[in-house]
Amino acid sequence: MKRPSHAAFPNFCRSDFNRRTALYGIGAGLGAVAFESLLQAETQQPHHAAKAKHCIFLMMEGGPSHIDTFDPKPELTRQHLKAFTRSGEMESAMSSGKRYFVKSPFDFIKAGQSGADISTPWLHLKEMVDDICFYRGAQVESVNHPTACYQLNTGNQFGGDPAVGSWVTYGLGSPNESLPGFVVLPRTSYPQGGAGNWTNGFLPAKFQGTPLRAEGSPILNLSPPPGVSAMRQRENLDLLAELNQYHLNDRPGRGDLMARMESYELAYSMQAEVPGVIDLEGESQATLDDYGIGNPDTDAFGRKCLLARRLVEKGVRFVQAYAGNWDSHDYIQKAHGALIQSVDQPIAALLRDLKQRGMLQDTLVVWCGEFGRTPDNGLRGGDQSYGRDHNAKAMAMWFAGGGTKAGHTVGATDEIGAEAVECVHHIRDVHVTLLHLLGLDDNKLTYYHAGRHKQLSQFGGKVIHELLA
């Protein structure tokens, strides 16, 4: 196929050609696009001095129980299996249709020099608590999984708005132009709410999260078809860019077209960069063992944690790794016990690895689910089968590195873990604090859409200074 001649750019030979058309044609040329990209990279600077350059967000989808992980409640042991009414009056008799307080099936210890509270199934993370800031004051609004996931990830319960990672890459750009700025490591099936959890929303499409598949090729069609050389592929992309540019010239203001063009170039660059990043064969056996890779219980999340470290090491700005199935409505001892076992060693290895490499100081690690669990539940078949329901008023969350207050526990819930009562903040304030640590001001990080300037916090929020070092 021949390259298009000047006839492929008819803006300059149409009868309606005028100065406005000429200026737009010049401004939208490939050279201008490249210049604009470089200019944007130079102007994407933090609003203030940043404590963190990257973020690894460990998302425990389903709602882990704070009462059974990092927030012990001795009062629940005293009230175990006592029923209560809505007024809070307790009864020792057990009858059908009533709910009962249930203690944690796990013991707790005071770990590290900081004496952090942690349940005993965390065999490995207990060694890293002095690098962690535990937060017990966060609250959300929804107890419905999809809407709660959307709110945690985008600030909007109903979806459609940009994800946190999209806002971060929009504000800071990506140091590595050959890799996406926002990468998602989902579980085998997508979380509730699907890809809306890492959407770019109303931001330009290039800021959406790029998911790497949990099984098979991480990115479909990453390699060129058999028989297509790198030179031939480059020529095809150059031709496609010219044709797309011709299409764009007649459609001013179409950011989606520009984003599509940029995505082709990013995909081409990723063919060379991604295989080297996702190939773990270059890691030592000691490192693989440390992350639990090769162990059936820890292999899946271990690979995500190690890949997250490799991605931020290569300059990826925001990585989100998912671990699912934390929705333990019954048999919480068995369910949460297995889930903790699957992530405990990989997470501890990630923190230790980042620290040993000198990366933890400028990499913010976040651990949380979309909400917490209740201190009570209806029994299903006996004492050993109890679980916990959804709780928007109290949840488990912790931070490590990136300027957070290591070795501290901030905030508190009431004596039964039903509600946060100390240093209480809505999830929007957590978002604002995350941006702040990365050098971004939520009130300045805005995008004009639907008639107003929008921001991650929706309508503003506060930095939680108690979490900052």
Residue-wise pLDDT for 338-352, tens only, equals 999 999 999 999 999
Under a CB-based contact definition with an 8 Å cutoff, are residues 136 and 87 in contact?
no
Q: Is residue 400 part of a domain?
A: yes
pLDDT recorded at residue 266: 60
Q: Examine the domain organization and report whether 313 and 450 are in the same domain.
A: yes
Decide if pLDDT at 8 tops 90: no
Decide if pLDDT at 297 tops 50: yes
Q: Is residue 442 part of a domain?
A: yes
pLDDT recorded at residue 200: 96
Higher per-residue confidence, 281 vs 436: 436
CA distance 55 to 316: 9
Say whether pTM exceeds 0.75. yes
Decide if pLDDT at 175 tops 50: yes
Q: Which of 76-80, 241-245, 272-276 has the highest mean pLDDT?
A: 76-80
Cα-Cα-Cα-Cα dihedral sign, residues 371, 377, 379, 382: positive
- Average pLDDT of span 366-370: 98
pLDDT recorded at residue 255: 63
How many CB atoms lie under 10 A from the CB of residue 416? 20
Higher per-residue confidence, 326 vs 378: 326
Under a CB-based contact definition with an 8 Å cutoff, are residues 196 and 150 in contact?
yes
Confidence of residue 38 (pLDDT cuts 50, 70, 90): very low
Q: Is residue 273 part of a domain?
A: no
Q: Is residue 68 part of a domain?
A: yes
Higher per-residue confidence, 222 vs 317: 317
- CATH number of the domain at 434, please: 3.40.720.10
- Average pLDDT of span 69-81: 94
Q: Examine the domain organization and report whether 346 and 366 are in the same domain.
A: yes
- Average pLDDT of span 149-175: 96
Query: What Å distances lie between residue 56 and 100, 132, 359, 425, 434, CA to CA?
Result: 37, 14, 12, 22, 11
Higher per-residue confidence, 12 vs 191: 191
Q: Examine the domain organization and report whether 22 and 65 are in the same domain.
A: no
pLDDT recorded at residue 270: 59
Confidence of residue 414 (pLDDT cuts 50, 70, 90): very high
Decide if pLDDT at 323 tops 90: yes
- Average pLDDT of span 102-127: 97
Q: Would you state the structure tokens that stand for residue 374, as one six-digit string?
A: 């209740």
Decide if pLDDT at 213 tops 60: yes
pLDDT recorded at residue 178: 85
- Burial group, residue 257, by CB count within 10 angstroms (0-12, 13-18, 19+): middle
State phi, psi for 247 to the nearest 5 degrees: -65, -40
Q: Examine the domain organization and report whether 26 and 137 are in the same domain.
A: no
Q: Examine the domain organization and report whether 16 and 100 are in the same domain.
A: no
Under a CB-based contact definition with an 8 Å cutoff, are residues 387 and 68 in contact?
no
- pLDDT tens track for 390-405: 999 999 999 999 999 9
pLDDT recorded at residue 236: 66
Expressed as residue numbers, the domain containing 29 is 9-43
Q: Is residue 260 part of a domain?
A: no
Mean pLDDT of the chain: 85
The mean-pLDDT minimum among 199-203, 215-219, 318-322 falls in 215-219
pLDDT recorded at residue 245: 78
Q: Examine the domain organization and report whether 18 and 91 are in the same domain.
A: no
Decide if pLDDT at 250 tops 70: yes
Higher per-residue confidence, 256 vs 87: 256
Q: Is residue 258 part of a domain?
A: no
* Domain total in the chain: 2
The mean-pLDDT minimum among 25-39, 244-258, 414-428 falls in 25-39
pLDDT recorded at residue 242: 75
Query: What Å distances lie between residue 234 and 56, 224, 237, 339, 413, CA to CA?
Result: 33, 11, 5, 46, 58
Q: Examine the domain organization and report whether 13 and 119 are in the same domain.
A: no
Q: Are strands 372-373 and 390-391 parallel, antiparallel or unpaired?
A: antiparallel
pLDDT recorded at residue 282: 87
Nearest to 151 by CA among 371, 320, 325, 319: 371
Q: Examine the domain organization and report whether 205 and 116 are in the same domain.
A: yes
Q: Examine the domain organization and report whether 53 and 33 are in the same domain.
A: no
Q: Examine the domain organization and report whether 59 and 183 are in the same domain.
A: yes
Higher per-residue confidence, 436 vs 254: 436
pLDDT recorded at residue 417: 96
Q: Examine the domain organization and report whether 56 and 35 are in the same domain.
A: no
Q: Examine the domain organization and report whether 28 and 69 are in the same domain.
A: no
Q: Is residue 71 part of a domain?
A: yes
Q: Is residue 266 part of a domain?
A: no
